[in-house]
Each structure stands twice: as structure tokens, then as C-alpha cells.
Chains A and B, each alone.
Chain A
Amino acid sequence: MPKSRTRSTATAAPAGTRSTTVGFGRLLLRNKLGMVGLGVIAFWTLGSIFIGVLSPYGASETAAGALLAPPSLDHLFGTDNFGRDLLTRVFAGGQLSLWTGLIAVGISMAIGVPLGGIAGYAGGALGSVIMRVMDVLLAFPSLVLAMAVAAALGPGTSSAMIAVGIVGIPEFARITYGQTISLKQREFVEAGRALGLSSATILTRHIVPNALAPIVVRATLGMGYAILTAAALSFIGLGAQPPTAEWGVMISDGRGYIISGEWWLTFFPGLAIATSILGFNLLGDALRDVLDPRLRTTA
């Protein structure tokens, strides 16, 4: 019996959900800064996917005759100390950085959301233990915790993804925890309980979907943060390793050339990091404005 009830609510839900989604989509389209953010993200995503087709150079292709060549028509971003074309490398690096961000945020969400949901729904000793563990993780400055985890795992791209992912867990747990605490008092959850739905069903089918708005906002802002932290880890030698085309590695490689005036080695990869983070921040802020209008007045 409870099953058929669930199905009926489930069939009724999409219509409402779709109209709300369309409404949100329209609001988002009207948010100019948010659209700028989306445009920047699309630029880096498409550029990094199609660079192999568009660029006459390979990301690791060296040219002995063009070492440290400044930006020119042949090499729009110049070349590095091995004569590799920087434009190709910057866009190729975008692919790795965006994947790193996606996987790291995926790890944070996949662990943080269930933990926060369980802590909020179960409450009591279990809830309090989970949230105290999250507090401990929050006691570390984020880059420092990422460094400690990456150092323990050994340097590398996947270590960086895991490290950045772990650092993001408490934020998602806290957001989901807060949402679950307030949602579990609501009538529709009580109704679910009265119908005899299991806690797992109530949590996954009724509470988490209703808590999605702040989670989505956090995930968008978290992408920018994850890209930044992963690049920082590569920069200090704990993330991707040379000769990988990765933004942090490229800046680290080009660092020695800044005092002799070869600015382009670090400028363009840095610009890529800064603009992509800006893109995610703008889009995240816009999503927050659209999904949670209460925050718009003060933030």
C-alpha cells in the first residue's frame, strides 16, 4: 500500500517540478552576471574539448627554434622553455582542471550529503558524532588539510582530486544537515512516516530532493574552489606532475622566468584559473539569487 502512494506522489511531482525548473531557468537567463559566468565556463569547457582539433600544435609538441617566444601571430600565448605552444597547453590543461573540479566536488557531495542527511534525520548520538567529525575537518585551514591528505596519498592528479574532495565534505554535510533538520518537521515528511515509509526512502526521495537548492549552489561555488585548490596543490608539487599540461604545474614551471621578464609563461595559465573560478563564482551567486531570494537583499 505505501508503495502505490509513493508512486502516485512521484507521478504528481514532475509536473510541478518541471514548471518550477522552467521558472528558475527563466530567472537565471535574466541574471546578466550569471550568464557571463555561464559563458566563461562554456568557453573553457568547449575550448578544452576542441583544442586538439583547432590547434595546429600538440600540447607536448616542442619546437627547438621557438624557445620562450613571446606572444605572436604564430603562437598567440607564446611558447615555453621547451618551445611548446602555450595556447594549446592552456586549453588542454583546462580539460584536466575541469575534470579535477568535477570529480572533487562529486566526492564531496557523494560523502557529505548522505552524512549530513543521516546526521540531521537520525539526530541523537549518531548525528552528533558525525557533525563533530565534520567540525574537526573544518578546524583545518582548507589548503592545509588538502596538503596533508595529498602528502599522505603521495603526489599526483588523483591524490589532488581526493584531497580536494575530502576538504569539501564538511561544507556539504553542514548544508544538508541544516536543511534536513528543518525539513524533517514538515508535514510531508510526517505524512511519509505515517504511511510507513522507511527512513532511507524519506531521506532519499523526500528530504534530499527538497534540500537540493543550497546543495547545487554550494556545488557550483565549490567547483571554482576545487579548481583553485587543485592548481595550488600542483603548484607546490603535490598535485599533477610535470610535464602534464595542468594550470598549476604550468605556473610552477614558469615561475623562474618571471624575474627575467618572460611573463607569458605564468600569465596565461593564471588567467585561465582566475577566469574559470570567476565564472563559477558568478554562476553560483546567480543560482543562489534565483533559488533563494531571501539572500538577495543582503548578500
Chain B
Amino acid sequence: MSYVIRRLLAMIPALIGVVICIFLLTRILPGDPARTLAGEQADAATVEKLRVDMGLDQPMLSQFFGYLGDLLRGDLGFAWHTGHTVTADLATRLPATAELAIVSILIALIVAIPLGVLSAVYRDRAIDHIGRVISLVGASMPLFWLGLLAIYLFYFMLGWAPAPIGRIETGVNPPTTVTGFYLVDSLLSGDMVAFTSSLKSIIWPALVLSTGSIAMISRMTRSAMLEVLGQDYVRTAVSKGLNPGIVVGKHAFRNASPSVVTVVGLEFGQLLGGAVITETIFSWPGVGSYVTQSIMATDYAPVQAFSLLAAVIFLVVNLLVDLTNAAIDPRVRNA
């Protein structure tokens, strides 16, 4: 318990740092938010009035506390290209991104962990070479290219994928909102048509989004397993005649898992960056495509809000990683 509290407390300075960082990005760097908001055509008086309204004429410190107060009230600014507050926009779009990220990381886990374990167990054999090629190529593929290739191949050429236009096919009604996750909501309402359609719509962007994670997780699983498999206690377990499956699955993997959990956490955090690209390509109505639309409209409050959100999620995921590792490995708890 004390470990949990210590870890939670350690997150506070990082959170403050992240907030300061975003604040500085909006205020210190060149570019005038008042001018941007008013538009290039606006006259000096309008810009000046806007500057006063936005509090930009105040000293930096009071601007910072004003910003902090806004954040604590859940005010992330106004997105003028949608006409809503950024908080409201994010709230309606977050479930779509969360669902995409979760499906994507599940795909990554299902593919990468067995691949990494098999690569380590059968080192330098065919499966290891295949695994290494996959991880090397996966790490070099630009997401936006891979996404477009997938659309061309699986939608245009083969007709397997539905049109890349969002979470559900045209003509199918979305399920009644309970969790905001179409897959879960359609199951809850027993609407199998909606379930199949949302599954067909999510699987392609999720596959594309998972490639980078598959590369990283399988590479880390392989190297962590190789290290553990070389240890004396594994040799002992093998030499006393234990089933190799048990040695690998129970003795070796459990000890390799903290490194794997760490990289899975890191990858989950990075998915939010990838989501911006993937959602844009597949017209997925999540926070990622919202960010791109904001950039196109030169409306930067949502971009900053998203960066803050992504950093907070990243910190929380890291916390969960540490707590999971503490649960797996008592040495972490007592360190």
C-alpha cells in the first residue's frame, strides 16, 4: 500500500511539470494567440481588445495561475472551428479513440508476445528470423503509409474492408450509448448487426495502429526471454525433467514479464500519437482526427488540450505499469 502512495505522490511533480510545459508552449514561443484567434485581417484595436480579454496583458505568473485555475475547473479552452468547448468535444470523441487504442493493443499483445517468446525459445531458427524481420519492418513503416496501403489493398482491391469512413458502416444504426464503445454497447443491446459492422470497421485501423507496438513488444519479449532462459534456475528446471512448456510459460515468462509490461505501457502511451495519424486516414471520429481537423482550421487550443491529455494518460499508464510490476515482482515493491 505504501508503495502505491509513494508512487502516486511521485506523479504530482511530473503532472505539474507537464502543465508548465504546455503553458510555456502556448505563451513563450513566437506567435500571438490573440492575433491567431482574431485572424490576419483584424485591425490592431480588435487584436488588442482580444489580448486583454484573454488575459495576455497580465504578468506571466498570474497568467499561469489563471491557466491552472481553468484546468482545475475542467476548462481546456474553446474550439472555435466546432463552436464547442474543447472539454465537450474531447468528451464526445474520447470513447472512439479509447476503443481503437484498446483493440489495437489487444491485437499487439496477441501477436507480439507469442512471437517474442517463440523467437527466444527457437533462437536463430526460422521463426526467430521471421519475428526479427517483422519487428524491423514494423518499426520502419510510417503509419500513414501503411494505413493507405491497407485501404488500397483491402478496400479497393479485395473488397474485404468496409469504406474507411468511421466506426460503423453507412446504413447501419449505431448501438444505444452505454459505454460509448460500439463493440460493447452493441453486445449489451444484443444488436449483432451493429456489432459485426463495428468489428469490421475497427479491425483495419486497429491492425494498422498496432504494427509499431507489435514490433516493439515482440522485440522486448524476445530479448527479456533470452536473458531469463540463460539463467541457472531455468537450466535446473529443465534438467530436473520439467515439461518445457511449463518452464517457458511459468518459470521464464513470469520473470521476463516486468520488461514486457513496461514496454506495453510505453506503447499504449505512444498509441495516442499514432491515433492522430490512423484516425485521420480512416476518418475515425476520435480525438486524433479532431486534432488534425483543428490544425487544418489553425485552431490550436484543441492541440494543446490533446497534448496535455496525452501526457496525463501517459503518466497514469506508467503508474499502472509500475503497480503491475510491483504485483508481479516483490523486489519492486520493497525497493
Contact = CB atoms under 8 A, between A and B. Distances in A.
Interface of A: 132-133, 135-137, 139-145, 147-149, 151-155, 224, 228, 231-232, 235-238, 248, 251-252, 255, 258-261, 263, 266-267, 269-271, 273-275, 277-278, 281-282, 297-299
B18 interface: yes
Contacts of A277: 139-140, 142
Given A235-B144, A238-B295, A270 B311 contact: no
Contact of B269 (A141, A237, A266, A282): A141
Contact of A140 (B163, B271, B314): B314
A132 B270 CA distance: 20
A248 B143 CA distance: 11
Going nearest first, the 5 A-B pairs with the smallest beta carbon separation are A270-B145, A143-B273, A136-B17, A148-B307, A141-B273
A293 to B, nearest CB: 15
A278 B140 CA distance: 5
B142 A224 contact: no
Contacts of B199: none
B311 A144 contact: yes
Contacts of A153: 29-31
Interface of B: 13-14, 17-18, 20-22, 25-26, 29-31, 136-137, 139-146, 148-149, 151-152, 155-156, 163-164, 223, 226-227, 269-274, 276-277, 280-281, 291-292, 295-296, 300, 303-304, 306-307, 310-311, 314-315, 318
A233 B20 CA distance: 23
A259 B152 CA distance: 6
Interface of B is mostly: helix
Nearest to B155: A259
A161 to B, nearest CB: 14
A259 B151 contact: yes
A133 B144 contact: no
B145 A299 contact: no
Q: Which of A147, A149, A299 has the most CB of B within 10 A?
A: A147
A136 B21 contact: yes
Contact of A144 (B136, B300, B310): B310
Given A139-B17, A143-B273, A231-B142, A258 B307 contact: no
Given A141-B273, A298-B223, A263 B152 contact: yes
A261 B314 contact: no
Contact of A281 (B139, B276, B310): B139
A190 B20 CA distance: 39
A232 B277 contact: yes
B66 to A, nearest CB: 18
Given A259-B156, A281-B139, A139 B144 contact: no
A251 B13 contact: no
Given A148-B303, A269-B145, 13 more contacts: A140-B307, A141-B311, A142-B273, A147-B295, A149-B25, A153-B30, A232-B277, A235-B280, A237-B296, A251-B144, A251-B145, A252-B144, A263-B149
Contact of A255 (B26, B137, B273, B281): B281
A155 B298 CA distance: 9
B144 A151 contact: no
